[in-house]
Amino acid sequence: MKKLIVCIMVFAFLLTTTAPAFAKGGHGGGGKGGSGGHSSSHSGGGKGHSGGGKGHSGGHGHGKGGPSRGHGGYRGGGHYHSSSSTSVYLVGREVIPNVHTFPDCNQHSATSETFVSYYSNGTSNSYTYYTVLDAKGNVLATDCTDVKHTIYDNVHYLLLRKGGKYGIYSHDGQLISNRSYTTMYEVAPNRLLVKANKMYGVVDLLENTVVPIKYKEFKSVGKDLYITKLNGYYGMVNSSNHIFFPPEYDKITQLYDTFVLKQYGKYGLADAYGRLILEPVYDKIKKQGEYIVVKKDKRWGVFDSSGRMLSEIGYEKIRINRNHLEGKINGMWIEIPVPLI
């Protein structure tokens, strides 16, 4: 009897400890082309993931081939693990072809394939690859992830991103540029804003340097006007390297159609064309309706947007009340006699 009881207890123990293993079975051996099971990088299968073939290494890359490329070559369902413990699996995929033309160009066109993967949690991923063609349908470039086209002096140029890097190409698909860039787009005729080694600058279509590639930031704030950052200080230039303000300011911020410049703890003002209209000698500058209101030595005054003084700097506070500009003196609000702009 004791032996029977012991056998029953052993059997119950084995059943309890092995049950989760049986319950977790069935995930192995993914869809066709898969590596079997929950490979976190989708290794195996067609060109694509886990730093394999062409595409985005370590990400959702798509290599050459047909609709089966990318995502480990799955044709049906598959699995991947998110950061949570919930398993998310592939529920569908489609390939969307398209044809592209370029403005004012009859010499080039492009075709593309967009690969879309749908997952069980309602999310999706998509990637597009382009092929560039000439007017006769000859292939000039393949496996491009971005294609831009421009014409300057009646010459056609292609700005192509391949393998995560941009280059300048001739009309027949030949690489012109010697360097590669992570960012490239046209900002003016024969002017390309580029980024290389985490720095910004401007080159022309023959890759001649126009604005040195040395700026940490290069922010567009108007028609061919940019706020730059160099060694922690800010300035303003255009795409032809005309320097409106050298990189000597602690901060430059856009205030509607003007720019506030901070230097040595004081504030000045530039207009929309990068011209200095107020020297950086004020404690504070802000917009009050259509007016520029400045503070100096604890008193406020009023300027217009061209830098013309409209009132003395002698008010405790300034406000607009029912379209009337008012200033506070000795605790009393009085109207400031300036015309409305």
Model pTM greater than 0.75?
A: no
Q: Which helix (H) or strand (E) holds 328?
A: strand 324-329
Q: What is the mean pLDDT of the chain?
A: 80
CA distance 82 to 307: 57
Of the CA atoms within 13 Å of residue 114, those in its CB half-sphere come to 11
pLDDT digits (tens, 9 = 90+) for 118-154: 999 999 999 999 999 999 999 999 999 999 999 999 9
- pLDDT at site 256: 84
Query: Is residue 232 one of the residues assigned to a domain?
Result: no
Inter-residue contact 126 to 116 (CB < 8 Å): yes
What is the average pLDDT across 166-182?
A: 96
Mean pLDDT computed over 40-55: 35
DSSP 8-state class, residue 175: B
Q: Is the pLDDT of residue 51 over 80?
A: no
Encoded tokens for 65: 């081939």
CA neighbor of 244 nearest in space, from 202, 215, 219, 273: 273
Higher pLDDT, 248 or 17: 248
Percent of the residues in the chain that have a pLDDT greater than 70, as a whole number: 74
The tokens for 177 are: 């540029």
- When pLDDT is cut at 50, 70 and 90, the band that residue 339 belongs to is low
Which position has the higher pLDDT, 67 or 302?
Answer: 302
317 belongs to a structural domain: yes
CATH number at residue 262: 2.40.10
How far is the C-alpha of 159 from the C-alpha of 185, rounded, in Å?
A: 8
Q: Is the pLDDT of residue 101 over 90?
A: yes
Burial (CB count within 10 angstroms: exposed 0-12, middle 13-18, buried 19+), residue 160: buried
Does residue 316 belong to any structural domain of this protein? yes
Work out the number of other CB atoms within 10 angstroms of the CB of residue 336. 19
Q: What is the distance, to the nearest Å, from the Cα of residue 31 to the centroid of all Cα atoms in its chain?
A: 35
- Which structural domain, as residue segments, surrounds residue 277? 250-341
Q: Does residue 189 sit within a domain?
A: no
Which pLDDT score, from 0 to 100, does residue 54 have? 35
Confidence of residue 103 (pLDDT cuts 50, 70, 90): very high
Q: According to the model, what pLDDT value does residue 63 have?
A: 34
Q: What is the pLDDT of residue 321?
A: 87
For the chain, the domain total comes to 1
> What mean pLDDT do residues 89-109 have?
95
Residue 229: inside a domain: no
Q: What is the mean pLDDT of residues 90-98?
A: 96
Residue 153 inside a domain? The answer is no
At 65 the pLDDT is 35
Residue 257 pLDDT > 60: yes
Q: If 0-12 CB within 10 Å is exposed, 13-18 middle and 19+ buried, where does residue 164 land?
A: exposed
Residue 85 reports pLDDT greater than 60: no
160 belongs to a structural domain: no
Mean of pLDDT values over 179-197? 96
Residue 234 domain-assigned (yes or no): no
